[in-house]
Chain A
């Protein structure tokens, strides 16, 4: 009886200790998950807070904004969004930005992919020197090129046209795009190209049929950077255009900032509108962008 009791006692003890351990583990797991969620929520809040603040502020009056920057609006000012469209002609500028950014990205990738292919896959003298020369453009501040760009664009009669910005942005982004695309193309196994050559592929076929499709992820990464550059650029948009028909949304945002006064809340409304395409692009291409960033395109 005693033995039985003892046995029962032991098993119940071990059951209790197992339960205790399970409980402990469970508690540990819960604690671990709580910490993880706390950290995740902190970073989520940290990342989203400026955006939420911007959206809420875009519905306030300027007086409310200065009086208490973190309060909710007493009356939601949809008028700010109306102002954004009416005062600065945001609709046309928005359309121009989309056209310019997409075309500049296409132009940039077209050139960068060809340059990247030659610099990554062909062996010739001065290859590295040409590459260094090309990417050294990354180190040149954009302001330093204002006068030459302005002169070139006016000389070729493209002043105040969307083509002025397409060409300029496409060229400005080339150093970084060539750097990214070449880095990605270098990671593609040589055997693939050699097999293609054995199968009869010529130079162009190797580029268009083998290397270019395999570099898609790298191209999307470079394209994302280029699109963001074109979308957010302000200095050259201001310098090379003079009418609404060729200006971009960044100039529209600044339309609310005058010599002595700034209508911040209408400007915030314009900023919120301007963010939409970048967000949409990211949602559409997030898989490619993330895999491009993590699989070699930016590893050099």
Chain B
């Protein structure tokens, strides 16, 4: 290709892109978080900037998008919620942390209730929702939900999405292996796993890649089975942490060969393609089972509480559950804006709206609502609600109970234990060292 042609093409591309850029510059843009907060006078339309993860292909995206649209229409000329779409959750967390570090908290944002959430509360940059909640609004929430977001007697956020993570099992595969009932004890579970192995199916999906999510949930269940619902209160020195590690190591004998290093997509994919019979995960996975699982599998998936262990403190039917996400708002100097944010929170948390969101997405929420026979609810979601309602205890998962350093260490330490580099004792020791740091 001659030099002139190359340069000519380059010049054309440059001119075209500059023309495009002029068009792009002319488009309306979202104000910076602090810009929106400080420059909008109260008598004008209040603009609420909301970076949201419930966008794109998220199961809540459609209905939540409708909430924003409806709210904006209802408050036309007075309040406008501008959604900043951020589908990637890790990126979202990084941006929120940077915003807070830079002192520019978005008007509204969501976060998961990990132990680090207290850092948000301590920052002094969040709006105190207590005066708004005292008007009867707090009655809509399930018991104890507000405790999770209360700091120094102030309600610093609105708890929203709730999650339980029972064992989802493929009944079709269990039937094939001659297992009539889902095992209630760990011994029966291992017996079932052997039978499944005989049929060429692995019992459960496990993973040590990413944050080791499915295996972390298994570990959480085993911790409650061994140490009871208050296991996290006693810390890593409790013998339950070691016993649960031993049990988890044993369970890895009944999983796929790629579990060490596998991510959620791979491990979840094994369940969907019937290579494994059990997956521990939350209600958000129901939609994927319905759309992506092997033919006829969705109807065959049921849920069950995790098995108990001989001599363990966990009672039959125990559940692992937690507040999955809460919404917080930036502290506002402008009273009109504060009221606007509270009005938006109230709108998205009315029992009617939460019901719409729950039925459409399959997710669970901490806001109480009633269902009737005409409501189309997934049988899996229904079982989760029924079982969690009658569970003797609901305990948060390991990641929600531990410091970030321990949570980050978990997948590496687990990989080491499964590969035989560490004993279960050394696995727990690794976690303790991180906790000490």
Contacts and interface: CB of A to CB of B under 8 A. Distances in A.
A235 B93 CA distance: 12
Contact of B102 (A63, A88, A102, A150): A150
Interface stretch (A37-45, A73-81, A93-101, A182-190): A93-101
In this complex, the member of B6, B53, B56, B270 whose beta carbon has the largest number of chain A beta carbons within 10 angstroms is: B56
B284 A261 contact: yes
A159 interface: yes
Interface string A95-118: 110110011000000000000000
A255 B87 contact: yes
A99 B59 contact: no
B383 interface: no
A258 B269 contact: no
A102 B17 contact: yes
A235 B99 CA distance: 13
Given A159-B32, A239-B98, A66 B89 contact: no
Given A66-B269, A260-B282, A103 B87 contact: no
A162 B53 contact: no
A284 interface: yes
A99 B89 CA distance: 27
B29 A102 contact: no
Contact of A234 (B87, B91, B98): B91
Contact of A161 (B29, B88, B101, B294): B29
B34 interface: yes
A65 B268 CA distance: 12
Interface residues of A, number: 49
A147 interface: yes
B292 interface: yes
B188 interface: no
B143 interface: no
A154 interface: yes
B57 interface: yes
B104 A154 contact: yes
Nearest to A62: B292
A285 B10 CA distance: 10
In this complex, the member of A99, A146, A254, A262 whose beta carbon has the largest number of chain B beta carbons within 10 angstroms is: A99
B24 interface: yes
Interface string B43-66: 000000101010111110000000
Interface footprint category on B? 35 or more
A154 B102 contact: yes
B87 A257 contact: yes
Nearest to A267: B57
A261 B288 contact: yes
A258 B325 CA distance: 14
In this complex, the member of B51, B88, B95, B287 whose beta carbon has the largest number of chain A beta carbons within 10 angstroms is: B88
Contact of A66 (B27, B95, B272, B287): B272
A246 interface: yes
A159 B33 CA distance: 9
Contact of B98 (A98, A146, A161, A266): A146
Contacts of B293: 63
Interface string B273-284: 100000000101
B91 A254 contact: yes
Contacts of A266: 57
Contacts of B59: 261
Interface string A144-165: 0011001100100101111000
Nearest to B282: A260
A238 B282 contact: no
Given A67-B273, A242-B51, A160 B30 contact: yes
B94 interface: yes
Nearest to A158: B32
A259 B89 contact: yes
Interface string B17-45: 11011001101111110110000000000
Contacts of B25: 161-162
A260 B32 contact: no
A297 to B, nearest CB: 18
B238 interface: no
Contacts of B273: 63, 66-67
B88 A254 contact: yes
Nearest to A284: B6
Interface in B83-141: 84-89, 91, 94-95, 98-99, 101-102, 104
B1 A284 contact: yes
B56 A284 contact: no
A243 B84 contact: yes
A269 B323 CA distance: 34
B76 interface: no
Interface in B243-297: 264-266, 269-270, 272-273, 282, 284-285, 287-288, 292-294
Contacts of A262: 265
Given A88-B56, A285-B6, 9 more contacts: A66-B266, A66-B272, A102-B13, A150-B104, A238-B91, A239-B94, A239-B95, A266-B57, A284-B10
Interface of A: 61-63, 65-67, 87-88, 92, 95-96, 98-99, 102-103, 146-147, 150-151, 154, 157, 159-162, 234-235, 238-239, 242-246, 251, 254-264, 266, 284-285
13 contacts: A61-B292, A63-B293, A87-B57, A99-B20, A147-B101, A161-B29, A162-B21, A243-B28, A243-B30, A246-B29, A259-B89, A284-B10, A285-B6
